A and B are shown apart, each in its own frame.
Chain A
Amino acid sequence: RKEVEQDPGPFNVPEGATVAFNCTYSNSASQSFFWYRQDCRKEPKLLMSVYSSGNEDGRFTAQLNRASQYISLLIRDSKLSDSATYLCVVNTDSWGKFQFGAGTQVVVTP
């Protein structure tokens, strides 16, 4: 079983709509959680950290559910520029042990 699992998608989303997707992780000792965005043929870039209480950054909302061991990302009012692959990243308290999900592809259409 993979340590971090994501629905690969693609999620085809009309411009202006809302899309949400989850990521599950297997290590209950995981300490920190992130969403990264990766555009085609580019490096991953941090989108947001995910905090226990949930957090929002503009149109993006991230939630953490430790009991069920998943994190979620919700994108409101989708823009064409939101089209990308969203990587779920989970870290235990070991140095550099970032576990990456395979990514969820989002395609926002006009």
Chain B
Amino acid sequence: SAVISQKPSRDICQRGTSLTIQCQVDSQVTMMFWYRQQPGQSLTLIATANQGSEATYESGFVIDKFPISRPNLTFSTLTVSNMSPEDSSIYLCSVQDRESPTDTQYFGPGTRLTVL
């Protein structure tokens, strides 16, 4: 499976600011995704990061709040914009390294965000 790293691993931010999270994969992957896991909750898909085009957002998530970039097949960023305490969460990127949509996803170590 691919080796995935995320930066930063954690951060504490002031409300109203923005944070950009990086996800780096050690091999080219077809699909990259961004999830959020709020305290005590399961994972919620934010968006699919598409290489060379705009991300595909899930219901309840919008580009202005969570802009995503994916300049190539090994790297993506998620920005959490104009943060509020409700954005405090763990943000995880994941990848699928095969062509089939039913294949397994592997997760990065996550970014733990606290917004004051």
Which of A42, A46, A94, A95 interacts with B104 by CB under 8 Å?
A46
Q: How many residues of A contact B (CB 8 A)?
A: 22
Which of B31, B33, B48, B92 interacts with A43 by CB under 8 Å?
B92
Residues of B within 8 A of A (CB): 1, 31, 33, 41-45, 48, 92, 96, 101-110, 112
Report B112 CB to chain A, min CB distance, Å: 8
Task: Note all chain B residues with C-beta closer than 8 A to A103.
Answer: 42
Which of B41, B48, B112 interacts with A96 by CB under 8 Å?
B48
Q: Known contacts A34-B104, A91-B102; is A97 also within 8 Å of B45 by CB? A: yes
Report B68 CB to chain A, min CB distance, Å: 13
Contact A87 B42 (CB under 8 A): yes
Contact B101 A96 (CB under 8 A): yes
Task: Note all chain B residues with C-beta closer than 8 A to A44.
Answer: 43, 92, 107
Which of A34, A96, A101 interacts with B31 by CB under 8 Å?
A96
Contact A91 B101 (CB under 8 A): yes
Task: Note all chain B residues with C-beta closer than 8 A to A42.
Answer: 109-110
Closest to B33 in A: A96
Task: Note all chain A residues with C-beta closer than 8 A to B92.
Answer: 43-44
Contacts A32-B102, A94-B101 known; 16 new A-B pairs at CB < 8 A:
A31-B101, A34-B104, A43-B92, A43-B108, A44-B43, A46-B104, A87-B43, A95-B48, A96-B33, A96-B45, A96-B105, A97-B45, A98-B43, A98-B105, A100-B43, A102-B41
User: Which 5 pairs across A and B sit closest by C-beta, in order of nearness?
Assistant: A32-B102, A43-B107, A100-B42, A102-B42, A100-B43
Q: Is A59 engaged at the interface, CB distance under 8 Å to the other chain? A: no
Contact A95 B42 (CB under 8 A): no
Closest to B6 in A: A43
Q: Is A66 engaged at the interface, CB distance under 8 Å to the other chain? A: no
In Å, the complex CA distance between A32 and B104 comes to: 9
Interface string of A33-50 (1 = CB under 8 A from B): 010000001111110010
Contact A43 B42 (CB under 8 A): no
